[in-house]
């Protein structure tokens, strides 16, 4: 079973239970046990790899040893032949044949170790990846569970027994209302400010004599008189 399948089982198992718990704690415990088993298997595989590599080195030495012995005896055989001692040369050649036979066997063993080592390395890499993935998933599931607990707590704090308060659309409405209120307040404040600024400006213009300080009967009469004079 893949990790995802196990997780879905764990979550579904929890979801159908009465109450709010989403994660089947039993399933999580099983996952964690599997995780521990995988880690142990990984350790075993690593130990296995070390001893196989040690054995392989032993065989490797034997192969090298045999190769050098063969070379050495080939030299002896040639020397025997050079001296015309056929019988001795044959004896040495027989010895070389024995070495070669042994070399064949040991080389076969060495090749076997090579493929064993590369297989074991693959298994270790795969197991490590699986463990990492499982670690991550278990941690996410646990986190999710904690977040849900937190949310339940918040829900209880927030609405008490009134569940309608928790309705998403109601909440959205409230947020929008608050936002609108804020905007209204802000625009009202801005309006007020501009009015105040306007009054202030008017006052300053008046005091500077740029704008008539008071529009009174006498000032109007004065203006009309001026108009009449210029019209004449």
Beta-carbon-side half-sphere exposure of residue 95 (alpha carbons within 13 Å): 17
Give yes or no for residue 4 binding another protein (CB under 8 A): no
Give yes or no for residue 14 binding another protein (CB under 8 A): yes
Give yes or no for residue 31 binding another protein (CB under 8 A): no
# chain residues binding another protein, by CB under 8 A = 33
Q: What is the DSSP string of the chain?
A: --HHHHHHHHHHHHHTSSSS--S-HHHHHHHHHHHHHHHHHHHHHHHHHHHHHHHHHHHHHHHHHHHHHHHHHHHHHHHHHHTT-HHHHHHHHHHHHHHHHHHHHHHHHHHHHHHHHHHHHHHHHHHHHHHHHHHHHHHHHHHHHHHHHHHHHHHHHHHTT-GGGG-HHHHHHHHHHHHHHHHHHHHHHHHHHHHHHHHHHHHHHHHTTSS-S---HHHHHHHHHHHHHHH-
Question: Which of 10, 22, 27, 80 forms a contact with another protein (CB under 8 A)?
Answer: 22
Question: Which of 79, 94, 101, 144 forms a contact with another protein (CB under 8 A)?
Answer: 144
Place of tokens 């040893």: 65
Residues 194-213 binding another protein (CB under 8 A) are none
In this chain, which stretch among 50-58, 93-101, 114-122, 134-142 interacts with another protein, using CB under 8 A? 134-142
Pick 122 or 178: Cβ nearer another protein: 178
- In whole angstroms, the minimum distance from the beta carbon of 177 to another protein comes to 10
Give yes or no for residue 187 binding another protein (CB under 8 A): no
CA distance 123 to 111: 18
Give yes or no for residue 169 binding another protein (CB under 8 A): yes
Contact 124, 47 (CB under 8 A): no
Give yes or no for residue 128 binding another protein (CB under 8 A): no
- In whole angstroms, the minimum distance from the beta carbon of 21 to another protein comes to 8
Give yes or no for residue 156 binding another protein (CB under 8 A): no
- In whole angstroms, the minimum distance from the beta carbon of 221 to another protein comes to 56
In this chain, which stretch among 15-23, 76-84, 97-105, 196-204 interacts with another protein, using CB under 8 A? 15-23
Question: Which of 20, 86, 200, 212 forms a contact with another protein (CB under 8 A)?
Answer: 20
Residues 82-101 binding another protein (CB under 8 A) are none
Cα of first residue to Cα of last residue in the chain, in angstroms, is 110
Give me the residues that bind another protein (CB under 8 A), please: 14-15, 20-22, 135-136, 139-140, 143-144, 146-151, 153-154, 158, 164, 167-175, 178-179, 182
């Amino acid at each position: 079973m893949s990790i995802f399948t196990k997780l879905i089982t764990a979550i579904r198992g929890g979801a159908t239970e009465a109450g709010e718990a989403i994660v089947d704690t039993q399933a999580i415990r099983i996952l964690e046990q599997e995780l521990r088993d995988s880690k142990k298997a990984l350790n075993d595989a690593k130990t296995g790899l070390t001893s196989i590599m040690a054995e392989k080195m032993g065989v490797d030495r034997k192969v090298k040893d045999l190769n050098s012995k063969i070379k050495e005896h080939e030299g002896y055989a040639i020397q025997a032949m050079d001296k015309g001692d056929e019988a001795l040369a044959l004896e040495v050649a027989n010895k070389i044949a024995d070495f070669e036979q042994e070399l064949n066997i040991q080389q076969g063993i060495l090749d076997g170790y090579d493929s064993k080592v590369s297989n074991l390395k693959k298994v270790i890499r795969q197991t490590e990846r699986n463990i990492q993935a499982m670690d991550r998933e278990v941690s996410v599931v646990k986190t999710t569970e904690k977040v849900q607990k937190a949310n339940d707590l918040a829900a209880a704090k927030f609405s008490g027994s009134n569940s309608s308060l928790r309705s998403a659309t109601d909440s959205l409405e409230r947020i929008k209302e608050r936002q609108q209120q804020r905007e209204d307040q802000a625009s009202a404040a801005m309006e007020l400010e501009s009015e105040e600024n306007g009054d202030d400006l008017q006052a300053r213009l008046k005091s500077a004599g740029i704008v008539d300080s008071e529009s009174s009967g006498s000032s109007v009469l004065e203006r009309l008189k001026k108009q009449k004079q210029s019209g004449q």
